[in-house]
Structure 1
Amino acid sequence: MTDDQPATPALLPAGLRDLLPPDAEIEAAAIEAMLSCFASHGYQRVKPPLVEFEQSLLGGSGAAVAEQTFRMMDPESHRMLAIRADTTPQVARIATTRLGRAPRPLRLSYAGQCLRLRGSQLAPDRQVAQAGIELIGSDAPEADAEIVLAGAEALAAVGLTEVSFDLTMPTMAALLLDGEGFKPERREALAHALDRKDAAAVTALGGAIAGTLTGLLLAAGEAAPALAALAAAELPPEARALADRLAAVVAAIRARAPALRLTVDPLEFRGFRYHTGPCLTVYALGHQQELGRGGRYISGEREPATGLTLFPDAILGAAKPPAPRPRLYLPARTDDAVAAGFRADGFATIAALDEGAQPAEHEARRLLCTHVLSDGAAVPLA
């Protein structure tokens, strides 16, 4: 025997939750609106499976999310399976295999649920919805700009126009630190100081590049001054190429969307594990939670790619709730053509199933209706 209490039917594991009306419908509509926007830019939808063999799911870029991945034994093949924690590696696999001969650049979109071993303080959910795009086969700065602009348009489609795209170079800090030959302990301490944005510690630990590191650390902010600081900094060749690439991406974005809010954090590297070039994180003004994240990576073994994953849960938390669909109560035996007409006008029709259900207004309120059909018209309930 154990002292465990009986399980409550409504109790779910930590980080998992039911999505109830009207939130489930709102989320589904928002995802479809974003995917429709992506489709208008030529992104074709794919639907990878929720579960794959561990070896394929966690190969390539998928290795970066291995520590967040649920695993289980397949009773059919007796091989280890893994539940996706992120969709991008799956889309990269599809592009490399099933669509390996498709014309490049390849534009793909997706939406689905992911499961993670643990949440974070800001995002405690372990089951998360994703909707995103991947542009595979082009290394042009315009490709990076395209995913930013398509992402901004998709967010506007669900009512979020006050957004900021934070552009980063997650490999920049490593390029600068590796070039100085720091001992492992000092390098780790310096990387920790950069992660904490601790300028005093960076100055104390940075040695010959302390001035460069501190200057770039303090330059984080609006894109123009941050890029000016990068242009003036003394950088080794690889780091200079990365900085020039970021400047080219910003220029490509500005050429098409001069009013879009862009910020640059030259030394930010947290959370980007398989990215190889300019990356981005999306925020709504006044909200801390990320709306999306993406950037440049390698698809397969060597194919250039870039993408953006949006998080519908966070997006709906930041967006103004849409007006609820009006609910119209229909008395029993209402003509089907009449009911269809009201549905075409945007009503959800709630049909009475019992002719004896009276009075109609009382029954309509009980079923959470906003209107009742009377003399052929939808009459609002007071």
Structure 2
Amino acid sequence: MTDDIPNPALLPAGLVDALPPEAEREAALVEALMATFAGHGYERVKPPLLEFEDSLLAGSGAAVAEQTFRLMDPVSQRMMGLRADTTPQVARIAATRLGAEPRPLRLSYAGQVLRVRGTQLSPARQLPQVGIELIGAESAAADAEVAVVAVEALAAVGVADGSLDITLPTMAPALLDHAGVSPELRRRLARALDRKDAAAVAEAAAEGGAALAGLSPLLHAAGPADGALAALEAAHLPPAARAIADNAAAVIAAIRALAPGLRITLDPVEFRGFQYHTGVAFTLYGPGNSGEMGRGGRYEAQRGEAATGMSLYPDAMLRAAPQPAPMPRVFIPAGSDPELARALRAQGFATVAALGPGDTPGRLRCTHVLEGGRAAPLEGGRAAPLEGGRAAPLEGGRAAPLPKKV
């Protein structure tokens, strides 16, 4: 009968336990990101995990409705949703609890989100999410600030030399609206643009007449920002599309004024995955092949307020960031002076006290041992002297610092 009892370590697909040292590393990374945001005036909010469905999925929340777990509240008998994205919650807080506060609002958040499905490349369904929202400012400078603060936050956790990809999710719809194409042709063009199928775009655009003649050149213009901006400048665009292009140029100029060395790419007709964005959209990439570090852009918050936000992905950053040196662990034998252990903790050590005769430095994974009033490093399970043949002495009641690992 015991064979029928499920393994207690078995978890649902896409859910995992975070173990030492990764759980601590993720927490430290999140707090480093939040410290960067705070340095730019972004104030932290903490929305609940669950909300009533009608408020959670209002506005931009509708874009993640299919990814939202739902359950019945036994108290109110109303349907609730478990957040799949924190941005809609921050927009709700801004419109309600902070509705009377002066604009613009600079808000930050950190927490877990849960989604109905993962993806083939990222099967996890519970994810850490960290981000910022700038609400109540509609300008190129606001968009640029959000992008540059996110880049700075990545650098603060050791993910440097990344790039910023900018897309214009409203450009293709503006061109299609101006052309007045049929719904069927619109679907074909949207699919071809989504798949970057240049031949299909050219064939479908030809059916749309002169109004869509610029789609193919803009598709091929994707790449470094300067080349894409030149293609937009040379294109014959209707007024609505021209305004989108001019705004993109202004945002890129504002970003370069703040971060001159940042690599920026621009794709004028990409609109995949940004259903609720009303202006420029951003994707942050890490160095090399480390992948996406975050996404964001301009959208309309509740009450019609202009907003720009960026959500960062700590799980991706953990793969790209350098591995930090572990905190040294000092074994404290039973009966040791607690003041010595307190001094070691103040110096940056973790102290691990022996609680029974079976506790040993090796068993408790210690790197040092308190020996004769000194924090001595362990080598092969025994206290080993430092350079000069002496263990690290306590200086003025404090442990002398160990050499930093390079």
Equivalent position amino acid for 1:83 in 2: L
Structure 1 residues 58-105: Cα deviation after superposition (integer angstroms, max 9, x where no partner): 111111110110000000000000000000000000000000010111
Residue 33 (structure 1) aligns with: 32
Q: Secondary structure at the match of 1:381?
A: strand
Residue 160 of structure 2 contacts residue 287 of structure 2 at CA under 8 Å; is this kept in 1? Answer: no
User: 295-304 vs 178-187, which deviates more?
Assistant: 178-187
Measure how far apart 1:243 and its partner are.
0.9
- After TM superposition, the structure 1 = structure 2 runs for residues 40-119 of structure 1, keeping only pairs within 5 Å, are 40-119=39-118
The whole-number CA distance in structure 2 between the counterparts of 1:193 and 1:29 is 43
Residue 9 (structure 1) aligns with: 8
Q: Does 1:377 align with 2:374?
A: yes
Residue 263 (structure 1) aligns with: 265
Measure how far apart 1:278 and its partner are.
0.5
Residue 284 of structure 2 contacts residue 292 of structure 2 at CA under 8 Å; is this kept in 1? Answer: yes
The whole-number CA distance in structure 2 between the counterparts of 1:344 and 1:261 is 41
Give the RMSD, CA atoms, in angstroms: 1.4
Q: Does 1:184 align with 2:183?
A: yes
- After TM superposition, the structure 1 = structure 2 runs for residues 1-382 of structure 1, keeping only pairs within 5 Å, are 6-207=5-206, 208=209, 209=211, 211-287=213-289, 289-354=291-356, 356-357=357-358, 363-382=360-379
Q: Secondary structure at the match of 1:206?
A: helix
TM-score normalized with structure 1 length: 0.95
Measure how far apart 1:228 and its partner are.
1.0
Q: Secondary structure at the match of 1:108?
A: strand
The whole-number CA distance in structure 2 between the counterparts of 1:330 and 1:239 is 69
Residue 166 of structure 1 contacts residue 262 of structure 1 at CA under 8 Å; is this kept in 2? Answer: yes
Measure how far apart 1:6 and its partner are.
3.5
Q: Secondary structure at the match of 2:361?
A: helix
Q: After the TM superposition, which parts of structure 1 deviate over 3 Å for at least 4 consecutive aligned residues?
A: none
Structure 1 residues 176-200: Cα deviation after superposition (integer angstroms, max 9, x where no partner): 1222222222221211111111111
Residue 330 of structure 2 contacts residue 366 of structure 2 at CA under 8 Å; is this kept in 1? Answer: yes
Equivalenced residues, count:
374
Measure how far apart 1:357 and its partner are.
4.0
Q: Secondary structure at the match of 1:205?
A: helix
Equivalent position amino acid for 1:124 in 2: P
Segments of 5+ residues of structure 2 without an aligned counterpart are 380-406
Structure 1 residues 246-293: Cα deviation after superposition (integer angstroms, max 9, x where no partner): 110110011121101111111111111211101101111222532111
Residue 114 of structure 1 contacts residue 128 of structure 1 at CA under 8 Å; is this kept in 2? Answer: yes
Q: Secondary structure at the match of 1:18?
A: coil
User: 171-180 vs 49-58, which deviates more?
Assistant: 171-180
Question: In structure 2, do the counterparts of structure 1 residues 297 and 29 end up closer, same or farther at CA, with 3 Å as the change threshold?
Answer: same
TM-score normalized with structure 2 length: 0.90
User: 236-245 vs 340-349, which deviates more?
Assistant: 340-349
User: 287-296 vs 302-311, which deviates more?
Assistant: 287-296
Measure how far apart 1:110 and its partner are.
0.5
User: 283-292 vs 85-94, which deviates more?
Assistant: 283-292
Structure 1 residues 150-198: Cα deviation after superposition (integer angstroms, max 9, x where no partner): 1111111100111111111111111112222222222212111111111
User: 68-77 vs 192-201, which deviates more?
Assistant: 192-201
Measure how far apart 1:210 and its partner are.
5.2
